[in-house]
Structure 1
Amino acid sequence: MNKLGVKEIEQILPHRHPFLLVDYIEDYEPGKFAVGYKCVTFREDFFKGHFPQEPVMPGVLMVEALAQTGAVAILSLEENKGKIAYFGGIKNCRFRGKVVPGDKLRLETTIIKCKGPVGVGHAVASVDGKVVVDAELTFMIG
């Protein structure tokens, strides 16, 4: 297994707090897949407004966390080191559950297609084995 802590992730991704949404990578294979985690705490800035009476992690941030996880896989390829992965599109995205403070969000993105600077990843986020988001994410390497 290839593990990465936040310092190693920061060497691959340009994101920084508060927008780095992956706490650690449990395993990855460059150009193939990455499995990471976001430990969701009550102290997340977005909970102040979403929603104060019932804190729920915004769906768009769950998708962003999945994209960052996939970016670890694609940007760890030697030819992509130092580059940025941009969103190109989101298809078939489904939100299937809430993510709340105390949840450990498992993020898994598998690269299913890559041609030149454009690729597609299949992304699934889950909490305690229950899928909360699944989507197909298109990215462009810049």
Structure 2
Amino acid sequence: MNKEELKKILPHREPMLLVEEAYVNEDGTATGFYTVKGDEYFLQGHFPGNPIVPGVIQCEMMAQSACVLFADKMIQEGFIPVYTGLDKVKFRGMIKPGDKIRIDTKILKEFPPMYMLHGEISVDGKRCMNGDFSFAIVKEEKES
């Protein structure tokens, strides 16, 4: 899925849409990509003169990439994915402007509407982050 196709299943929009492309692999895992341009809002103070993609942004990229695994559930109007937890997250390398990030995720357990997954982020084949995470696909509660 390209960015426009992702917008059909994800509620996220710029500047919080943090995946440019994602797809489901034959083995049931998902792979997503994002190229760090250098002008992203999250680099504007993290850190001046030495921009590094924050860990929390990497976690969000991981979850957004995994959502292609649940496209059939998320395409239903009024349902959104919400983070419910992170576990065993390790940051192993810095991600900087110009880096093309690869995000690989797989389902560990399913208890609809809850899902537990594992994800890894790498740049040029070098692992930069990995961890387990969970989210739920829930009915959106609109503000009145």
- Scaled by the length of structure 1, what TM-score is found? 0.90
State the shift of 1:72 in Å.
2.0
Aligned letter for 1:90? L
1:61 alignment partner in structure 2: 57
Post-superposition CA distance 1:14-57 (Å, at most 9, x none) = 000000000111x3159x43101010011111211111121000
Match of 1:44 in 2: 40
Other-structure match for 2:3: 6
The Cα shift of 1:109 comes to 1.0
CA–CA separation in structure 1 for the residues paired with 2:74 and 2:52: 34
Backbone CA RMSD of aligned residues: 1.4
Aligned counterparts of 1:19 and 1:133: Cα–Cα separation in 2: 19
Runs of 4+ in 1 over 6 A off after TM superposition: none
Q: Distance in 1 between matches of 2:38 and 2:64?
A: 21
The percent identity for this pair of structures is 36
Q: Secondary structure of 1:84's match?
A: strand
Which residue is equivalent to 2:129? 133
| Structure 1 residue matching 2:46: 3-state secondary structure | coil
Change in CA separation of 1:89 and 1:98 when aligned onto 2, cut-off 3 Å: same
Aligned to 2:141: none
For the residue of structure 1 that corresponds to 2:7, the secondary structure is helix
Correspondence for 1:81: 75
Gaps of 5+ in 2: 139-144
